[in-house]
Amino acid sequence: MSGRPKLVLASGSPRRLSLLNQAGIEPDALRPVDIDETPTKGELPRACANRLARAKADAALKALQFDDELRGSFILAADTVVAVGRRILPKADLVDEASQCLRLLSGRNHRVYTAVCLVTPKENFRQRLVETRVRFKRLSEEDIQAYIGSGEWRGKAGGYAIQGIAGSFVVKLVGSYTNVVGLPLNESIALLGGEEFPIRTGWLDAG
């Protein structure tokens, strides 16, 4: 592979793309993968995030084997899990799911785990797991119903998006904010930089 190495983001999440852009990195391609994200029986949140990030990276690597333009690229995959204790909350697609998540999170602490998996051009796998603790205020029924009406929760782990209206529910956050959005930037950039991806190339034009 000649010239600048390429980077593929194995996600269709606009939030993950926006976070990478914030760090001055523009992926060469987005290749979201479709895998079963159902936790296995008794699976703990940390293990679930790690397994799914690796599975997404594996699936993207296999898909790129047939792509002459992108074969040999760096691949970045991630999975975010929201949990209360050992209980993994769903990525809410239905109103009932989102309502249950918000009632469970109301006035309580929860943890957000994001596993990041990087595949190098030599097909080595590097992985990091980041944990953030979040506490929500006590949510009234009016809060919950109005938030459901916003639609922001659709497809989001735990039934909320911290970068939107739900940011006003947060009383306390300990750890990485970008982790809760969906991609811990410090750790992701460290993984890329550790494998000699040119992370600062786009910084010159950032202003």
- Under a CB-based contact definition with an 8 Å cutoff, are residues 118 and 74 in contact? yes
Structure tokens at 159: 């039934």
The enclosing H or E element of 17 equals helix 14-22
Closest by CA to 30, choosing from 7, 61, 49, 63, is: 7
Structure tokens at 29: 């391609």
Three-state helix/strand/coil letters over 49-103: HHHHHHHHHHHHHHHHCCCCCCCCCEEEEEEEEEEECCEECCEECCHHHHHHHHH
The residues assigned a catalytic role are 79
List, in sequence order, the alpha helices (H) in 94-201.
95-105, 141-150, 177-181, 185-194
